[in-house]
């Protein structure tokens, strides 16, 4: 599974460029050492219309004290062929970190809730939802093939720091993969939007009755549910994997760590001026419903649904990377600072073909923000406003509006003080 990083070739040309600028050695150091590996998740089996939503524990992952530089993923079959979204819709994948007591194991079928006991501690990202909601370090959905995840030098996500692992525990990683096989489906979009009427379920994954006004979402398309097929359709079951490619560098003091924040547009935490907020005050519902616009709006072509929330960012810093996550029907998302400035705007691109990575009607990529480090700053305690836009010519159920941010609390100022590039990093 290991191979010579392509970046090595690339970094040689950077080396030549950087040798002409003084004090740039940290750049070269970081670039030259990028490692890369391709892994497969455990196998999951899907027949036409079926759903797999599983948590795989102790997955293959870079080990040691390293800085993650990118994480890309896609669904492939046993021969390694990429599977298009109109056959297997990748609702989402999410990768999270946990500490596990040594000599204890978790099997792939243990429930997500297992992580909340004395042998396992789920380690959240830096915020800002509550408990076990949206804890991931990385996560995307149908857009995974076309969305850049690279973290620019000299930044990285620090993992595997032995000083942060409690005595008697080990750092482990899990991946949650939620995939829906829509081969032969009567209504492919409906299956991907988890419309309850197509799934013939009356209770959710935990056996709780589904409210009559709940039209669609994760409560109706949990593991082993079945979406409605065209009369008489039959197709083979097949074995699939999440294939993921991770890039990283060994940790060193020249790497500047970034924190991960994910803002959820359904978070309706009440902002108050004097309260000390903690994560438990957040109320992230993850999914929401987009009602269809009224007929007169349709004629006026004004069918845009906006959902908006404001949250406070306790600890600020410099935005290094930003990207939104939306479902089909999404037309973009923007994160604003307290003064109304745009922190990042991210828009989906839709495919227009048949092949994997370009499937017509599906979101196949999200645009990303890579502000020049130092140019976009969030101050401590700043109120951020997130807006998520959907085209509501048609109703959409179970949609999402997340915004993923990588924030550096410091800039690599000291490394560049004598360099011609220093102006990039000074406020």
Q: Which stretch binds ligand NAG (CB under 6 A): 77-85, 101-109, 133-141, 173-181?
A: 101-109
Q: Which stretch binds ligand NAG (CB under 6 A): 67-75, 102-110, 119-127, 234-242?
A: 102-110
Q: Kindly tell me which of 245 and 347 has the beta carbon lying closer to ligand NAG.
A: 347
Q: Kindly tell me which of 255 and 290 has the beta carbon lying closer to ligand NAG.
A: 290
Q: Kindly tell me which of 181 and 267 has the beta carbon lying closer to ligand NAG.
A: 181
In the complex, the smallest distance separating the C-beta of residue 22 from ligand NAG, rounded to whole angstroms, is 50
- Which residues 183-222 are close enough to bind ligand NAG by CB under 6 A? 200
N- to C-terminal Cα separation, the chain: 43
391 touches ligand NAG (CB under 6 A) = yes
In the complex, the smallest distance separating the C-beta of residue 369 from ligand NAG, rounded to whole angstroms, is 21
In the complex, the smallest distance separating the C-beta of residue 136 from ligand NAG, rounded to whole angstroms, is 22
What HEC string does the chain produce? CECCCCHHHHHHHHHHHHHCCCCCHHHHHHHHCCEEEEEECCCEEECCCEEEEEEECCCCCCCCCEEEEEEEEEEEECCCCECCCCCEEEEEEEEEEEEEECCCCCCCCCCHHHHCECCEEEECCCCCCCCCCCCCCEEECHHHHHCCCCCCCCEEEEECCHHHCCCCEEEEEEEEEEEEECCCECCHHHHHCCEHHHHCCCECCCCCECCCCCCECHHHCCCCCECCECCCCCCCCEEEEEEEEEEEEECCCCCEEEEEEEEECCCCCCCCCCCCCCHHHCCCCCEEEECCCCHHHHHCCCCEEEEEEEEEECCCEEEEEEEEEECCCEEEEEEECCCCCEEEEECEEEECECCCCCEECCEEEECEECCCCCCCEECCCEEEEEEEEEECCCCEEEEEEEEEEEEECCCCHHHHCCCCCHHHCCC
Counting Cα atoms < 13 Å in the Cβ hemisphere of 46 gives 33
70 touches ligand NAG (CB under 6 A) = no
295 touches ligand NAG (CB under 6 A) = no
- Judged by CB under 6 A, the residue of 13, 109, 111, 275 near ligand NAG is 109
In the complex, the smallest distance separating the C-beta of residue 189 from ligand NAG, rounded to whole angstroms, is 11
- Which residues 322-341 are close enough to bind ligand NAG by CB under 6 A? 331
Determine how β-strand 155-159 pairs with β-strand 330-336: unpaired
Q: Which stretch binds ligand NAG (CB under 6 A): 67-75, 82-90, 106-114, 359-367?
A: 106-114
108 touches ligand NAG (CB under 6 A) = yes
Task: Compose the 223-262 pattern: x for residues touching ligand NAG by CB under 6 A, - for all others.
Answer: ----------------------------------------
Q: Kindly tell me which of 32 and 304 has the beta carbon lying closer to ligand NAG.
A: 304
Rounded-to-integer distance, Cα 388 and Cα 307, Å: 5
304 touches ligand NAG (CB under 6 A) = yes
Q: Kindly tell me which of 70 and 226 has the beta carbon lying closer to ligand NAG.
A: 226
**Sequence-distant (≥ 6) Cβ neighbours of residue 255 within 8 angstroms:** 30, 67, 154, 155, 156, 158, 249
347 touches ligand NAG (CB under 6 A) = no
- Judged by CB under 6 A, the residue of 58, 393, 413, 424 near ligand NAG is 393
In the complex, the smallest distance separating the C-beta of residue 239 from ligand NAG, rounded to whole angstroms, is 12
In the complex, the smallest distance separating the C-beta of residue 45 from ligand NAG, rounded to whole angstroms, is 8
Q: Kindly tell me which of 167 and 231 has the beta carbon lying closer to ligand NAG.
A: 231
Q: Which stretch binds ligand NAG (CB under 6 A): 105-113, 267-275, 309-317, 344-352?
A: 105-113
With CA atoms as reference, report the closest residue to 320 among 189, 408, 198: 408
Counting Cα atoms < 13 Å in the Cβ hemisphere of 176 gives 24
148 touches ligand NAG (CB under 6 A) = no
Q: Is the peptide bond before 119 cis (omega within 30 degrees of 0)?
A: no
In the complex, the smallest distance separating the C-beta of residue 350 from ligand NAG, rounded to whole angstroms, is 10
Q: Kindly tell me which of 202 and 423 has the beta carbon lying closer to ligand NAG.
A: 202
In the complex, the smallest distance separating the C-beta of residue 108 from ligand NAG, rounded to whole angstroms, is 5
Where on the chain is the footprint of ligand NAG (CB under 6 A)? 107-109, 200, 303-304, 331, 391, 393
């Amino acid at each position: 599974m290991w191979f010579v990083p392509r970046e090595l070739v690339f970094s040689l040309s950077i080396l030549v460029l950087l040798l002409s600028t003084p004090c740039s050695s940290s750049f070269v150091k970081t670039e030259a050492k990028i490692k890369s590996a391709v892994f497969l998740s455990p196998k999951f089996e899907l027949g036409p219309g079926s759903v797999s939503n599983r948590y795989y524990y102790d997955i293959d992952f870079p080990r040691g004290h390293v800085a993650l530089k990118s994480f890309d993923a896609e669904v492939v079959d046993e021969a390694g062929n990429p599977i298009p979204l109109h056959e297997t819709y990748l609702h989402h994948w999410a990768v999270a970190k946990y500490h596990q007591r040594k000599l204890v194991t978790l099997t792939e079928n243990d429930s997500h809730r297992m992580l909340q006991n004395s042998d396992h501690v789920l380690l959240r990202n830096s915020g800002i939802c509550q408990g076990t909601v949206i804890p991931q370090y990385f996560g995307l959905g149908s857009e995974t093939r076309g969305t850049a995840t690279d973290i620019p030098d000299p930044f990285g996500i620090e993992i595997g720091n032995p000083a942060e692992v409690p005595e008697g525990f080990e750092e482990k990683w899990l991946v949650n993969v939620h995939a829906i096989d829509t081969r032969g489906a009567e209504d492919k979009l409906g299956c991907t939007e988890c419309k309850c009427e197509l799934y013939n379920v009356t209770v959710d994954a935990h056996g709780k009755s589904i409210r009559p006004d709940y039209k669609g979402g994760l409560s109706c398309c949990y593991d082993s549910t079945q979406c409605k097929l065209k009369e008489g359709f039959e197709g083979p079951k097949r074995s699939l994997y999440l294939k993921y490619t991770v890039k990283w560098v060994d940790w060193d003091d020249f790497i500047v760590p970034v924190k991960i924040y994910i803002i959820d547009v359904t978070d309706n935490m009440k902002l108050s001026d004097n309260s000390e907020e903690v994560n438990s005050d957040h109320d992230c519902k993850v999914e929401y419903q987009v009602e269809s616009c009224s007929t007169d709006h349709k004629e006026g072509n004004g069918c845009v649904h906006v959902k908006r929330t404001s949250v406070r960012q306790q600890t600020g810093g410099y935005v290094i990377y930003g990207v939104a996550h939306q479902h089909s029907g999404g037309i973009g998302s923007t994160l604003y600072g307290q003064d109304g400035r745009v922190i990042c705007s991210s828009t989906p691109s839709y495919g227009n073909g048949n092949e994997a990575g370009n499937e017509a009607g599906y979101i196949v990529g999200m645009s990303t923000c890579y502000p020049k480090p130092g140019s976009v700053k969030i101050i401590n305690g700043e109120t951020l406003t997130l807006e998520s836009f959907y085209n509501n010519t048609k109703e959409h159920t179970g949609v999402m509006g997340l915004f993923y941010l990588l924030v550096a609390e410091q800039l690599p100022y000291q490394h560049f003080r004598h360099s011609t590039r220093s102006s990039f990093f000074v406020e």
